[in-house]
Structure formats: structure tokens, C-alpha cells
Structure 1
Amino acid sequence: PSSTARPASLTATCPRIASGWMWAFTRRGSGPGRSITGAIVDCSVDGSGFEFAGHTLGTIAKWLCDLYGVTVEFPDGDTTKIDETRAEPGETVFKFLNRLAQGKGMLLSADGDGKLIIRRSNPAGKPVAAIVEGESPYLGGSSSYDGTKRFSRYKVFLQQDGDPGIVGTVEDLGVPIYRPKVEVGTDADGKDAETAAAWRRTMALAEAVGLSVTISDWRTPGGQLWNKGDPITLYAPSLMVYRESPFMVAGVKLRIDETEGRVADLRLVLPQTYTTDMPEAYPWD
């Protein structure tokens, strides 16, 4: 080949699944491919730490992604302005943008044309599917729980005129023993220390709970491709989901299985991951 990568697209009947680059080839013409947005996942923000002040997430995202030829769309509208923020040295473009998006309740995903889609999370949205263990399209799943990721108290100090003078504290009543977590906030936290602490509490819950299911179709029952941010309900006793419970899709992997054909691996999180609230009841209670 005359170059290290070649343009490619993947289509499953309709619509297009992904657009990007083939990075490796064999004599049979097969090989791993990446979406156009793969570049912002791999590559760091170029510089000792770009600083942004008074810009929206959309402005920052478009400025950074334009360097890689990635188009950015906001189907639900842009965010409010971020007072001050910066990318840390070595931080990838995606990690930086995702960090800002989480603080604004937004989700990052890629569409079939290789565009970066930044949409507002909708934890209370109508489920696109009700998945039940033992019934189609459920094929299997796995779950795990790591209580060391959670703490009983989260305290965040924010800078004020150079001094960490703003303090925010929240409790996690689901942790029955004394386990404090104290951090100094970052620029992305803004000026609301209590909200910053609440975000750390919900993200810790998301890290503690690992849940994934495999579905026997690339599409939802409504005919749309599975997408990050899709709300669903799940009842799967073997995964410790003992009641029909709401979840949101946090990651999607579409693949072709030798025996099952087209399957989708869905990584699930509790809806509260995208809010500062905590669940009133847990699926495993």
C-alpha cells in the first residue's frame, strides 16, 4: 500500500455503521478498521495544556476536532459557557471533551458517517427495549461489583483567589462504614463545589458497578442501531438484577459471531450516572 491507512466504510443493509480508516490488511482484504473519530481517542491535545475561558463545549469541541477532520454536531443544542478549563499534558482529545461533557450532563458518541455527536443525556427517557433474561433478544451477560470504588463521604476543595476556600461535601448513604474521599477540584468543576462532589459520588457508583449484556441484533426493537445513551429496562436474576430496572447504554460493540450472527455487546450503567442523584433503590436489593 502507498499509505498507512485507507478510507473505508461499513454498511449493514442500511444505514451506514461506521466511516473511517482501515489500518491493516491481509491478502483476503480483511483487517481492523477505525472510525474517523478514532483519531481523537488516540491522540493527545497538542500543547502543554490548552486553556479555554468563556467558551461553550461546542466551541471547544469543534476547534479541537477540526484538526482531525471530525465534524461535531449537537442535536440537543450546545451547553452554557465554561468559565475556565484546560487540557492536561498528555490528555487525549476525547478524554478532555468527555470530562467536560460529563460535567454538563452530555454524552459523546460517533455516528455512521464518522461525526462526533454530543447529545444531552435523558435518564428519564422512554426505554427503547425491555430486555429479559431467557427471552429474545437476550443472549447472555456478566456483572460485577467493586465496593472499594465507593466512599461514604466526598469532599471537594475549589480554588478561590488562589486558595482552596470553597468546600463541597456530599454523603453516600449506601456505604455503611467511614470511608472519606477528599480531592482538590479542577477547572472543569466550575465554582460549585457541592455539585463537583456529587458528580464524583455518581461516577464512583458507575465505576463500582460493571454490567454488560449481549443482544442478538445490531438494532433495537424499533429498528434503530444501538447507540450510547439509549435507555432500557433489564430483568436478569443471574446478573443480580432481581427486578425490572432502568439502565442506560454506556458503550456499544457491534460484531459478527460465528454461531449467533450479528450481535451487540452493550455496557450498561445506572441512569443516575448522568445526574447528581443517587438511586432510591438498587437492582440487586
Structure 2
Amino acid sequence: MEDPNDKVTLTVDGMDYGGWKEVSIGAGVERQARDFDLSITWRWPGSSEQIRPVRHGARCEVRIGRDLVVTGWVGASPIRYSKTEATMRITGRSLTADLVDCCPDDKPGQWKGQRIEQVVRSLVSPYGIKVVNEGRDTTVIPNHTVKPGETIFESIDRLLTVSRLFSTDDGQGRLVMARPGSAGRAADRLVLGENILEGDAPLDFSRVFSEYVAKGQRAEQDDDESADAAEVVGSSADDRIGRRRRLVINESGQVTKELAQWRADWERDHRISKALEATYQVQGWRQSNGALWIPNLIVPVVDPIIGFDRDMLIAEVTYSRRRSGGTIATLKVAPPDGFEPEPNDKRKRMKVKKGKTGDNFEYLLPADWEKR
């Protein structure tokens, strides 16, 4: 019998739809909009399980038990049938999907001397989307102008990079301005031999280098030497890589020495973090305290097969149920540094506290994560 805490309900126009045989609900820090795919199969003719058709484009809510996990729009309702049975699916995305697909209004189009949060709220307000400043950022920007043809999300992404934030969504369909780990810490660990059912880590280091060089140009000032003004260079060496591999990044626009150095350091940390992404499956959608597994939590991972014994960031969660596979949460994790936005200002990098670790990748990564 289905656990009431894991019952999936789709609510459309005040009507609840349940009994879904297959479920896939996905959310992640690198997604601006979460999505869902629900299906039910009934045998016919004469079945009492048939459900009323759902209106396309209708506003909807998806819940797991009492937890609201998606607020969005119905996108499609494909139907497939044979002589003996029919399957109906309902798919959709978060309210924030419109920020991914649509462009900003032409007016005002430019903002001066305002906080980033104010500009974000102005960009999304025509779509009725609320903003949560989870990162508690108060940065004021001198100027922001919408670029022709860019989407709302692309414009917001440029804005948030100034404050080292990223944007995602939540179960209420709100835009969330967040930092890696700002959702808190998980109640449970991921431990091989305890709650990990399967693990998968490509461990692909083909895009990791021993030296990162960022180059750019900046306008000459009165006290500059001509050669210094013509080219700005920042470099970050990684002597832990076993052979010489040099990568040069050419930055566009006006580049300061600080920005060039930050870019080189960012490439180094980002690429190593991405190389160490891993995906784990656990039984059930909830932790031992009853809370759902959610993105942007810091979770300790103990996996001697892959070689991890450290804090990781939950980058993505997929809640799935299959008629043959049970109720599974699939968690993509990686070192938190891999989710820092790309640099584009003068700010110096924030440091990660190092400590003892028992994993096999100490030569590649900072040893633990200190919440910033």
C-alpha cells in the first residue's frame, strides 16, 4: 500500500488527480525551472480508472504527500493506447519556465544605481513571479541594460554573477537567488553500505589542465605603461596534474588584473569539481527525519569505492517511481565550488577552509566545505 507521505497529487483547477503509476519530478541548482512527468495506465474498455482530461496551459501544483514540489503550468498530455490498455501522461514545468523561454519587456530596459534584487524583481514582475533572496544579497549595481534578444533568465544570470549568486526555483514557482549550500545541510549522509543503492561517477578529467591563463584587454589610463594597459593576464597553476596541459582563456570586454586572476582560479576549481560529479540512488524520497531530499543541500558522502569522504553539494534531485523499480531518489552531487557563477567583476575569491579528509582525491580538491 502506498505511503501517504509519498503519494503524488497533481492539482489542476481545484481538482486533485492521483493514482499515478509512474512518476518523474526533477529539480536542480543548474535549472531555472523544475519539471514533472506523471503517467497512469488503465485497462479498457469499461475501466473505472479513466481520469478527466487536463487543460493544456492550466496552472497546476504537484505535491509529494503534503510537500509542494512544483507550482507551474501543464505543458502536454500525451495519450498512447492499444487494444487492451491506455496510458495518459501529464507533463509540465515550473512557473519560472517562462523566464527561460521569454524575453524581457522593452521598458524600462535599463536600471541605474539599484540593488540586484530590485532589478530581478522588475524583470520578472510582468510574469507574476515572486523572488526569494536566499543569498541575502544587497549589492547595488551602477548600471544594467537588457541586451537585444536575450531571455529574462540570461539577463538575470548576468546580474547575479556580480554577487556570485545563481538563480533557481522552488516548489512555489518562485525565483530563488541562492549561493552554493544556502539551503542548509542534509540531515543524513550518503554512505556506501547504508543508504546508497547505486553509484555512478564518470571521473572524466579530459577537460582538466595543469595551467590556466586568462587574458584580456583594458583601456589605458594616465598612469599606465602602454604594454601593461594593452594586455592583462592572470594565471593559476595546478602542479597536481601529472603532465603539462595549458589552457588560455580570452576574456572579452574591459578586464582588470583582479578579474583575470579570478577567472583563471575559477576555471581551475570549476573544472576539477565537474570532473568529480557523481550520481547516487537511494531508496525513497525522504531523509530519516521525514524531509525530502532537495537541491542545494550540503551532504556528507562516504564512498570508498569511488573515493569520497567529504561534503558535497546536491546539485540535482529526481524523484522517480516505476511499476517495476519502486520509489527512488536520484541525487547528483559534486564539490560546491563547481557551482560558483563565472566571474565578471573585481571581487576577490572567497576561500574554502581546509581540513583532514579520508578520501582519495585530496590532491585535487579542498578538503572540506565551509558554508559561506
The TM-score with structure 2 as length reference comes to: 0.63
Q: 1:122 to 1:33 in 2, by over 3 A?
A: closer
Query: Are residues 1:23 and 2:75 paired?
Result: yes
Which runs of 5 or more structure 1 residues have no equivalent in the other structure? none
Q: Deviations over 1:35-87 (max 9, x none)?
A: 1112223345678xx77665544234223322433211103312523466667
Greater Cα offset, 94-103 or 214-223: 94-103
Write the mapping of 1:1-285 to structure 2, written as runs, cut at 5 A: 4-26=56-78, 30-43=89-102, 55-82=114-141, 92-98=151-157, 100-101=159-160, 104-122=163-181, 126-136=185-195, 138-161=196-219, 165-186=231-252, 192-238=259-305, 240-241=306-307, 243-274=308-339, 283-285=359-361
Q: Is 1:158–1:186's contact at 8 Å kept on the other side of the alignment?
A: yes
Which runs of 5 or more structure 2 residues have no equivalent in the other structure? 1-52, 80-86, 221-228, 341-348, 362-372
What is the RMSD of the two structures over their aligned residues, measured on CA atoms? 3.5
Q: 1:42 to 1:211 in 2, by over 3 A?
A: farther
Q: Is 2:218–2:255's contact at 8 Å kept on the other side of the alignment?
A: no
Question: What letter is aligned with 1:11?
Answer: R
Q: Deviations over 1:71-119 (max 9, x none)?
A: 1110331252346666766654435544654563324331111001112
Aligned mates of 1:108, 1:11 — CA distance in 2: 22
Give the deviation of 1:209 after TM superposition: 2.7
Aligned mates of 2:189, 2:270 — CA distance in 1: 25
Aligned mates of 1:105, 1:60 — CA distance in 2: 16
Aligned mates of 1:112, 1:87 — CA distance in 2: 28
Q: 1:23 to 1:141 in 2, by over 3 A?
A: same
Q: Is 1:147–1:208's contact at 8 Å kept on the other side of the alignment?
A: yes
Report the count of equivalent residues.
Answer: 280
Aligned mates of 1:44, 1:147 — CA distance in 2: 37
Percent identity between matched residues is: 24
Question: What letter is aligned with 1:76?
Answer: G
Aligned mates of 1:93, 1:29 — CA distance in 2: 33
Q: Is 1:128–1:231's contact at 8 Å kept on the other side of the alignment?
A: no
Aligned mates of 1:148, 1:209 — CA distance in 2: 12
Q: 1:188 to 1:14 in 2, by over 3 A?
A: farther
Q: 1:187 to 1:181 in 2, by over 3 A?
A: same
Q: Is 1:103–1:199's contact at 8 Å kept on the other side of the alignment?
A: no
Aligned mates of 1:218, 1:94 — CA distance in 2: 29
Aligned mates of 2:231, 2:118 — CA distance in 1: 30
Q: Is 1:86–1:187's contact at 8 Å kept on the other side of the alignment?
A: no
Q: Is 2:187–2:287's contact at 8 Å kept on the other side of the alignment?
A: yes
Aligned mates of 2:243, 2:137 — CA distance in 1: 41
Q: Is 1:84–1:187's contact at 8 Å kept on the other side of the alignment?
A: no
Aligned mates of 1:102, 1:76 — CA distance in 2: 12
Q: Is 1:164–1:184's contact at 8 Å kept on the other side of the alignment?
A: no
Q: Is 2:55–2:74's contact at 8 Å kept on the other side of the alignment?
A: no
